[in-house]
Structure 1
């Protein structure tokens, strides 16, 4: 192989057996098909196989094996770690497998491995139903669900993986496997946070919940009011019902009608409150926050799917994210959180987010993802344009994490982070769960073909298998 190009004869052989498009670097559409959410990810695969069926997935895997190609799997392409691409390898792009079918009687939704939350949210909303999804609509359902799935509805309905009922998977050797409570139950457990370590998810079944009414409030203050607002928000959440979601967010004041001119394009402190109920009841709940007289306020009934689309960030920015979970949120922790926001790049889409958990998150099942006793998540979400700002953005994220460590639980939600090393992957699961995942990995992917998503190494009896990457 030279210059990231495979021999055209071999690619033509793949095309002859493949139902969907096969895209290579010499083709005009390659750059558009290759582009992912994080523009810092520059890997250039040799082949992008756009799978329209399970048969295509199996054919692509067979081709990769036969040609010694590393494999990446792409659904939404939002992985900040770059799991959706692989240098000089083959991408199994399942975005064409994006069908969504809601069963309102059973309150379930079945979707293809390439579906995004926009389609799931809109289809479910037609029947007054919803489930916990990503905080933007363009996120791939499979990546979020298999990685755990944190979203605005989690305090009421649990994480996305808490609502995962079954998965259809193609394993590294091309076998079709069903995983649910009754079939391959150990694999099913592993898919509740273990991500793309075990195969290509071609279909998922999720539980839906009634959601007839939904409302939100976005309240803005100048950054210098942030510490007082943060204290009020902590007190507000302590007494809030599980129907309340949202978070405290430092951000660049948006250019919107409800935002005063003096708060536009400058650092602001915001509180987003989501509510699985009507706007008049929401106003009653947030009365203590309104007493703090936010200069910018938007309080309204809104379809849940519309809220998700409102928060979409465009692709193409440089991204660097991370995460710390807090067992307690002391005054000193709030002081440090608010002080660190001064290091954000402004104006930019970057956000410094404090998310409240508890509720249904704390009451969920014992899946392999992050430990559920954390009450808060600190999530620096860096998005910027100029490569000259790379060092500054990374320093802000790392320094905020360091600020929070005295109150941190030590675990991590892996969907919130990039490549932070093997120790952080283990922290995301804990040693006992990591060992259990490694044994599942050894059964379904013994040679570690699927190694791009916060990799779990295959092992038996505590020893990595020979031949694993």
Structure 2
């Protein structure tokens, strides 16, 4: 790839094989991904992004876009091609009076939270603080605050985006409204988003942590969990359940709550039945800063492990589904692996399925299987455990999936992530990226008259 013409228009650094920093820049969260781009264009601002996109157009290149590099499918990297790297773009402007924050898309959630918490503000963000804001937001954005505040995409007010032509526009509810709708969950299909404006909330202190039970008690724990979260929880409380390991490798089943309401005493009362259930081996729930909760799970999913995911929304969680979950939790092939049940209610469920590109608003539980391990030689058995577990939960599937949880081999499931919204997304794609320049993603095919033939 001859990058001479790009270099003359580019203010940032362009790394090629052999450049200092090239190998470090091509590393991403999932160590299974080991791709070698011809060039990594490290953008300093929107003008660099425009130059890189125009270069790609002129040379018929289909670039990969790197935000946080946390996506398990490794979509941020490509062999032999061009990576448009947004990670140097970390500017953020917080407006406390209007409760908004405008952030460039090279930021991680930890970096975003650090700035917004200085003003006592938060919005729904990722479960791991090293996750990039761009990918999570564009895929919809599940997080701890979602039952009170909605998904991340429910709180976006505008997107600055560089289109496949190299032109830069802003999409809002009033300008390019079709694109604004599509960016609320439709992923990186429509261009390179360079900054996003978010609605913020006055949240600084939460009640969170974990209640750990022996894995031997998992069936009773999960039956209680199902009944507790479906009993009509207040919006301020979100609770997950997970099979995981303690730092010393002991397998447990955990309740992981987040109370984000202003009345902490009420939160203590609502959480009391959860904490008193059974005979936990540890109750780690406490009042903590919001930013501490956002980093709570980071040690369990560090950068540089090998990882494989499978996920699906479940319409219900009957006893037979719990039995199946526990069976596989008891036979995990890696002590690092997680099996998580995420329940959402409240603000998430009050948004109509066609109001944003993200359609899944009423299915009861999101099952997320995250396998993590160190050695490449162990890939087959950990992948097989994950796939078999996922298939075994099929009888309770709602027929939907969270697009941010799709792995490398899940391309055929992209329509499943969007259900009835896929056709509209395909039409928006045809308007803004008819040549599918941005295809190195969980790809939505552009719908044109030719594609109907």
Normalised to the residue count of structure 1, the TM-score between the two structures is 0.92
Aligned to 1:30: 22
Per-residue deviation at 1:288? Answer: 2.1
Q: Give, in whole Å, the separation in 2 of the partners of 1:421 and 1:248.
A: 25
Aligned to 1:114: 106
Q: Give, in whole Å, the separation in 2 of the partners of 1:318 and 1:212.
A: 34
Number of corresponding residues: 446
Per the alignment, in what secondary structure is the counterpart of residue 284 of structure 2? strand
Q: Please report the RMSD computed on the Cα atoms of aligned residues, expressed in angstroms.
A: 1.6
Aligned to 1:257: none
Per-residue deviation at 1:462? Answer: 7.7
Per-residue deviation at 1:461? Answer: 4.3
Q: Give CA deviations for 1:40-88 in whole Å, capped at 9, x if unaligned.
A: 1122110000001111111112222333333011110011111101111
* 1:195 maps onto 2:187 in alignment: yes
Q: Give, in whole Å, the separation in 1 of the partners of 2:452 and 2:123.
A: 37
Q: Give, in whole Å, the separation in 1 of the partners of 2:186 and 2:426.
A: 10
Aligned to 2:246: 253
Is the Cα contact below 8 Å between 2:311 and 2:390 reproduced in 1?
Answer: yes
From 260, 280, 283, the equivalent of 1:297 is 283
From 425, 428, 432, the equivalent of 1:440 is 428
Per-residue deviation at 1:346? Answer: 3.7
**Structure 1 segments unaligned to the other structure (5+ residues):** 1-5, 255-263
Per the alignment, in what secondary structure is the counterpart of residue 214 of structure 1? strand
From 233, 238, 242, the equivalent of 2:235 is 242
Q: Give CA deviations for 1:166-202 in whole Å, capped at 9, x if unaligned.
A: 1010011101111110000001111011100000001
Shift in CA distance, 460/12, structure 1 to aligned 2, threshold 3 Å? closer
Aligned to 1:308: 294
Per-residue deviation at 1:282? Answer: 3.5
Aligned to 2:372: 383
Is the Cα contact below 8 Å between 1:279 and 1:299 reproduced in 2?
Answer: no
Q: Give, in whole Å, the separation in 1 of the partners of 2:427 and 2:285.
A: 49
Aligned to 2:41: 49
Moved more, 380-389 or 44-53: 380-389
Q: Give, in whole Å, the separation in 2 of the partners of 1:281 and 1:182.
A: 39
Aligned to 2:440: 452
Q: Give, in whole Å, the separation in 2 of the partners of 1:421 and 1:139.
A: 20
* 1:317 maps onto 2:305 in alignment: yes
* 1:154 maps onto 2:140 in alignment: no
Aligned to 2:272: 287
Aligned to 2:347: 360
Aligned to 1:393: 382
* 1:419 maps onto 2:417 in alignment: no
Shift in CA distance, 212/318, structure 1 to aligned 2, threshold 3 Å? closer
Moved more, 361-370 or 444-453: 361-370
* 1:331 maps onto 2:319 in alignment: yes
Q: Give, in whole Å, the separation in 2 of the partners of 1:65 and 1:114.
A: 23
Is the Cα contact below 8 Å between 1:38 and 1:315 reproduced in 2?
Answer: yes
Q: Give, in whole Å, the separation in 2 of the partners of 1:346 and 1:174.
A: 45
Is the Cα contact below 8 Å between 2:30 and 2:74 reproduced in 1?
Answer: yes
Per-residue deviation at 1:118? Answer: 1.0
Q: Give, in whole Å, the separation in 2 of the partners of 1:29 and 1:249.
A: 37
Q: Give, in whole Å, the separation in 1 of the partners of 2:158 and 2:388.
A: 40
Per the alignment, in what secondary structure is the counterpart of residue 350 of structure 2? coil
Q: Give, in whole Å, the separation in 2 of the partners of 1:153 and 1:200.
A: 26
Per-residue deviation at 1:419? Answer: 2.7
Shift in CA distance, 83/346, structure 1 to aligned 2, threshold 3 Å? closer
Per-residue deviation at 1:280? Answer: 4.5
Moved more, 55-64 or 191-200: 55-64
Is the Cα contact below 8 Å between 2:229 and 2:239 reproduced in 1?
Answer: no
Per the alignment, in what secondary structure is the counterpart of residue 255 of structure 2? strand
